[in-house]
Structure 1
Amino acid sequence: MSTNKDITLDDNFDLLIENGDFVVSPSDQQHVNCIFLAHAGEYKQFPLIGFGASRFLKKTTASKQKFLRELTIQLEMDGYVSPEIENDFENLIIKV
Structure 2
Amino acid sequence: MEDFKLNEEMDLAFENGDFSIENTDQQNIELILLTHKGSFKEYPILGVGITDYLKSPEIISRLRLENEINNQLEYDNFTIKEVDVNNLENIHIDGNY
TM-score (ref. length: structure 1): 0.86
Equivalent residue, structure 2, for 1:31:
28
Separation in 2, partners of 1:16, 1:22: 6
Equivalent residue, structure 2, for 1:67:
65
Moved more, 41-50 or 11-20: 11-20
Q: Note the 1:1-96 alignment, pairs <5 A.
A: 4-61=1-58, 63-86=61-84, 87-96=86-95
- Higher strand share goes to which structure? 2
Asked if the contact 1:40–1:48 (Cα under 8 Å) also holds between the matched residues in 2, the reply is yes
Cα distance change, pair 81–53 in 1 and its aligned pair in 2 (3 A) = same
Task: List runs of 5+ in structure 2 lacking aligned partners.
Answer: none
Task: List runs of 5+ in structure 1 lacking aligned partners.
Answer: none
2:80 aligns to what SS in structure 1? coil
Separation in 1, partners of 2:87, 2:57: 15
Asked if the contact 1:7–1:25 (Cα under 8 Å) also holds between the matched residues in 2, the reply is yes
The one-letter code sitting in structure 1 at the alignment partner of 2:69 is L
Separation in 2, partners of 1:36, 1:83: 17
Q: Give the RMSD, CA atoms, in angstroms.
A: 1.5
Q: Percent identity?
A: 35
TM-score (ref. length: structure 2): 0.85
